[in-house]
Structure 1
Amino acid sequence: MMTYGKDGGHRNQKCSKTIKKKTKATNHCHCYKKSIVLTKPFSIENESDSEISYKAPNLLRRLLSLLKNVRRGSDLTRFQLPPQFNFPKSQLQCYGESIYSISSNLLSRCNNGHSPLDRLIYVVAWSISTTRPPIFGVAPYNPTLGETHHVSKGTLNVLLEQVSHHPPVSALHATDEKENIEIIWCHYPVPKFSGTNVEAQVHGKRQLKLLNHGETYEMNSPNLFIRILPIPGVDWVGNVNIRCLESGLVAELCFKTQSFLGFSGNQRLIKGKIIDSSSLKILFEVNGHWDSTVTLKDMNNAETRVIYDAKETISGLQAPIVKDEENVWPTESTLIWSELNQAIMSQDWEKAIEAKKSVEERQRDLLRERESKKETWVPKHFTLFQNKEGCWDCLPIQKLVPNSPITTL
């Protein structure tokens, strides 16, 4: 959790929000405090501070206890982890952080590229920057239906909403009026257990719109691969395609992990190429490691240059701060999970179990209430639908995302 330092800066932050609640018996208002707990985003460093101090001991024992209750090939989207396996974040926050937690302005570079090819190259770098190092042995909370996460970074405003619970579909909308950029991201993970590993296939698509240039870039996400045996580990794997609908330029990337035995030196490897789809000519080759540097080789003259430096881009990241707690939405992730966040940070596992159970029971109560009234839940900020391919997709209801009372540098 964040506390303010003597220099006026922040290392952690914990601020409270007063919630008014009416009791049925007396109709009186009772005020209680909910603390907004904001933690550092995932960074490229393996930091040994409070961000990992909440990890519970005896990881192998916890894993073996889970394996007893999970069958091979089972659908894990309905499986609830005990809080000892959680870190104090919702999955919505993790998605949002990959957009607003960045130490360099790659989006501005995308917008300022002089040619369609320059802009695609910067979009490739931006797409790689959204890949953050996961932590083995802990996972974020499954967002509740209607949960939101809303953060501003400069002129970029980012809003996420959990638009479906089964399947677990998350929607993101980000707008930057200054740069005239819009991001729409709708995706849903489908994790499968296969004995020695879990692979979460991330369905859905992202759209990055550079409105000044009339260009839309569509891309997918890599899959999360969790290896349990023989050597535990977690990584991003799979193919990512980035296509500019207007120029016809395409980037094909492949994320690779270490070998099954865990001895390969090519960890977090990324390889790929940039192609002109009209001529099928390979213009550039992409090589490197997404957690260090990625280079681009020009196929005409063999010149090589660095297009992405992870240490420069996603290191030294700071947690957001709350500038106006009274205007934080009651659906905000950090409020919904506030008690559980605090319990995990203090390693009070009994309190954590009760806090998590309370959130889950509240969701079940709301579901029963809707079913009794024969009501269908409708997202507040997005329209959810299935496209022609039968995949879930979404569109934002508002043209622009408003400024948030939660901000980050």
Structure 2
Amino acid sequence: MIFGIAPYNPILGETHHVTRGNLNVLLEQVSHHPPVTALHATDEKENLEMIWCQHPTSKFYGTSVETEVHGKRQLKLLNHRETYEMNSPKLLIKFLPLPWVDWVGENRIRCHETGLEAELYYGSNSWIRGNARTIKGKIFDSTTFELLYEIHGQWDRTVKMKDVSSGKETVIYNAKEAISGLKAPIVTDLKGVWPSESAVIWGVLSQAILGKDWNKAREAKKVVEEKQRELLREREAKGETWVPNHFSVAHSKEGGGWDCAPIQQWVPPAPISVPL
């Protein structure tokens, strides 16, 4: 890498606030050591809510890096009074023989109210055989263990779901359609952008990277990180502890788990918008 080191290192209190349609999303970096990111997303029209608290840990294996994403993820369908809890598969980054990125491991999704549960398995078979980035799983009733649906496909192409009772197959995810429809975010209210917004904090660094001015990029990164060290010294001198602005955070040292509860019931519309 020309830059020499990872250019971005999320700082304490850094945020990203964005809107797409009726969905408003807010992320905040609630811990720096270890890195923990909290997410709250709400859609008042559809009456749904998402709450995530993510803490990644990585292991280096010489020719690859495997990152395990810890933390609780919840999707709440408030109209139905249903909460779906899920974990995350591991992210695998290979360097040799060729650069390669894949999800691996198990992903479980469960709704306690309905008893519905999904078990998904992400595979990392050799890309040479043409069947990498695979996903396979099932949806069943955890109270009776009745199998309802089978899932199979490749997450970077298409994923299909088969109704066990009828045998009918349905495409539930098409990566090409999903990605081709994405549009770049735009700033709709410049004055409403918070100073903690990622694009503001790393703006000079990003412009330097785009302009391939590596010396300026390194200096910009140094300025951001030195400011954080100065703020830390000031807090320590005053005996203060930093508190997140948008989440209430609890940490269990014994279990190593993090719980991030949003302070607001609904995420407000953001000054940054992703067009539909």
Do the two structures share a fold, i.e. TM-score over 0.5? yes
Partners of 1:157 and 1:229 in 2: how far apart?
39
Unaligned runs of 5+ in 2: none
Aligned to 2:82: 215
Q: Which of the numbers 118, 131, 136 marks the counterpart of 1:271?
A: 136
Identity %: 62
Unaligned runs of 5+ in 1: 1-58, 63-80, 87-140
Q: Partner amino acid for 2:235?
A: R
Map 1:5-404 onto structure 2 (within 5 A): 82=4, 86=7, 141-259=8-126, 262-386=127-251, 389-404=255-270
Instruction: Tell me by how many angstroms 1:304 deviates.
Output: 1.5
SS of the residue aligned with 1:393?
A: strand
User: Secondary structure of the equivalent of 1:297?
Assistant: strand
Post-superposition offset of 1:368: 1.4
Which residue identity lines up with residue 223 of structure 1 in the other structure? Answer: K
> Over residues 148-200 of structure 1, what are the superposed CA-to-partner deviations in whole Å (9 max), with x where a residue is unaligned?
10011121111110000011000000111111111101111101112221101
Name 1:407's counterpart in structure 2. Answer: 273
What is the alpha-carbon distance in structure 2 between the residues aligned to residue 300 and residue 407 of structure 1?
Answer: 42
Q: Which has the higher strand share?
A: 2
State the 1:301 CA deviation.
2.8
Q: What CA distance in whole angstroms lies between the structure 1 residues aligned with 2:206 and 2:98?
A: 29
Partner of 1:7: none
Q: What is the letter of the counterpart of residue 378 of structure 1? A: V
Amino acid at match of 1:399: Q
User: For 1:361 and 1:295, how far apart are their aligned partners in 2?
Assistant: 49
Rounded Cα–Cα distance in structure 2 between residues aligned with 1:319 and 1:241 = 31
Question: How far does residue 144 in structure 1 lie from its aligned partner after superposition?
Answer: 0.5
1:290-333: CA deviation from partner (whole Å, max 9, x where unpaired): 11111111222322121111122222411111111111101000
Distance in 1, matches of 2:87 and 2:124, equals 18
Root-mean-square deviation (CA, aligned residues, Å) is: 1.6
Q: CA deviation at 1:389?
A: 4.0
Deviation at 1:377, TM superposition (A): 0.6
> Is the Cα contact below 8 Å between 1:236 and 1:268 reproduced in 2?
yes
Alpha-carbon distance, 1:357 to partner: 1.0
Matched residue SS, 2:161: strand
Helix, strand or coil for the counterpart of 2:128? coil
Question: In the TM superposition, what whole-angstrom CA distance separates every residue of 1:351-403 from its partner, at most 9, and x where no partner exists?
Answer: 11111111111111111111111111110100111258441111001111111
Relative distance call for 1:285 and 1:306 in structure 2 (3 A) is same
- 2:216 alignment partner AA: K
| Structure 1 counterpart of 2:158, one-letter code | T
Taking structure 1 as the reference length, the TM-score comes to 0.65
Give, in whole Å, the separation in 1 of the partners of 2:124 and 2:68: 15
Q: What residue identity is the alignment partner of 1:342?
A: Q
Which segment is superposed worse, 249-258 or 223-232? 223-232
Q: How far, CA to CA, are the matches of 1:293 and 1:230 in structure 2?
A: 26
**Letter of the aligned partner of 2:137 in structure 1?**
G
Q: Distance in 1 between matches of 2:171 and 2:100?
A: 28
Whether the aligned pair in 2 keeps the contact of 1:217 and 1:244 (CA below 8 Å) is yes
Runs of 4+ that moved beyond 3 A: 387-390
Q: Any idea what SS the aligned residue of 1:314 has? A: helix
Classify the secondary structure of the residue corresponding to 1:343. helix
Q: Residue deviations 1:24-49, cap 9 Å, x none?
A: xxxxxxxxxxxxxxxxxxxxxxxxxx
